[in-house]
Chain A
Amino acid sequence: MAMLDMAPPSSFQGGWRPPIMKVESAFEPTGFNKALEDIANKIEEHHQHLVQKDMIGSRMRRKAAVELNEAIRACILEPVLQKLIGSGEMEGMIDRVMKKEVDPYSVAEDIAKRYLEGCL
């Protein structure tokens, strides 16, 4: 709450100040259910707010960015790791790093050079 108070009003996108809601103990069903209802309503209110203030687009964009990031990572990193693990090369490299024969940074650079020739 104190930190929310310190934030300038402009930091609350579209005028939505994150509400802090207290929930009763789950062992006190009356208060707990009332709090749940309030939260569920607030969640719907937030969704409507996102739609009305045209903010849902920025959330979708954030989601799309994460997805693309993850998809690229999976597409590039996974086949390389799988190959290194599958061929047993990974274990050999770990051994060498452990014995301080090589450092992990140079090993990673060598692998990058091998697989991402066009990019480096």
Chain B
Amino acid sequence: METTKKIKDGDVRAASRLIRNLEDRIPEAKTTIKHLFPLTGKAHVIGLTGSPGAGKSTLTDGLIDMFRKKGKTVGVLAVDPTSPFTGGAILGDRIRMQRHAEDPGVFVRSLATRGALGGLAKAVGDAIHVMDVLGKDIVIVETVGTGQQEVDIINHSHTVLVVLVPGMGTRFRRSRRASSRSPTYSSSTRPTARDPPSSRES
């Protein structure tokens, strides 16, 4: 398969096109992903979850930098459930991460929930495979951690980060959220000067 070879050689445009075709359920794309599957399994998939505004994109943006400094290539999948109230902000993450746009070692792609058929977790799984074959050492999947679909998405990852804002909610709720998804780390990018001491524990 020509596309398979292109993606294996690091052709970002071919990869991008394939992810789009998979989203649009083009039959040829399905054939291609079947060819790609045996080549997957090299990337370290990191799931980043947390409520809206917790700082997931800020943290992702910073982590891209850190991993690039360590000489690793990074793929980012920003999963943005299209909001029925605001119409969603599919481009929000792209704007926040645009300083990496010129770096060939970084590939950022947004995915949104689509219509009546659902299947977001599948779209994410497919896109992880594509980035893996593309040669990305690290694949960061960023998603709001609520709802079954999002939990399914997080199950695609090897390491899970839960981003929490100190001082929000009760101590119990914070703790429960932190442990119910068995996260690997919790962190926050928000200022903490005015927080009560216990907030450090979130």
Interface on A for B, CB 8 Å cutoff? Answer: 1-4, 7, 16, 18-28, 32-33, 35-37, 39-40, 42-44, 46-47, 50, 56, 59-60, 62-63, 65-67, 69-71, 73-74, 77-78, 81-82, 85
B159 touches A43 (CB 8 A): yes
> For chain A, what secondary structure do more than half of its interface residues adopt (helix, strand, loop), or is it mixed?
helix
12 sample A-B contacts, Cβ–Cβ < 8 Å, listed by A number: A20-B178, A21-B187, A22-B188, A22-B200, A23-B59, A26-B55, A26-B189, A60-B41, A66-B121, A67-B125, A78-B25, A81-B117
B152 touches A23 (CB 8 A): no
Q: CA A16 – CA B159 in complex, angstroms?
A: 12
B117 touches A66 (CB 8 A): no
9 additional A-B pairs beyond A1-B201, A28-B191, A81-B117, beta carbons within 8 Å, are A2-B171, A2-B172, A21-B186, A22-B188, A27-B191, A42-B184, A42-B185, A63-B156, A66-B155
B182 within 8 A of A: yes
Interface on B for A, CB 8 Å cutoff? Answer: 25, 41, 44-46, 55, 58-59, 62-63, 65-67, 70, 116-117, 119, 121-122, 125, 152, 155-159, 161, 166, 171-172, 175-176, 178-179, 182-192, 200-202
Q: CA A46 – CA B172 in complex, angstroms?
A: 26
A40 touches B116 (CB 8 A): no
B186 surroundings in chain A (CB, below 8 A) = 18, 20-21
Which 4 residue pairs are nearest across A and B when measured between Cβ atoms?
A: A3-B175, A1-B201, A70-B122, A40-B66
Q: CA A25 – CA B189 in complex, angstroms?
A: 5
Residue of A whose beta carbon sits closest to that of B122: A70
Residue of B whose beta carbon sits closest to that of A33: B62
A1 surroundings in chain B (CB, below 8 A) = 175, 178, 201-202
Q: CA A26 – CA B31 in complex, angstroms?
A: 43
A47 touches B202 (CB 8 A): no
B190 surroundings in chain A (CB, below 8 A) = 25
A63 surroundings in chain B (CB, below 8 A) = 45, 125, 155-158
A4 touches B179 (CB 8 A): yes
B59 surroundings in chain A (CB, below 8 A) = 23, 36, 39
A36 surroundings in chain B (CB, below 8 A) = 59, 62-63, 65-66
Q: CA A60 – CA B128 in complex, angstroms?
A: 13
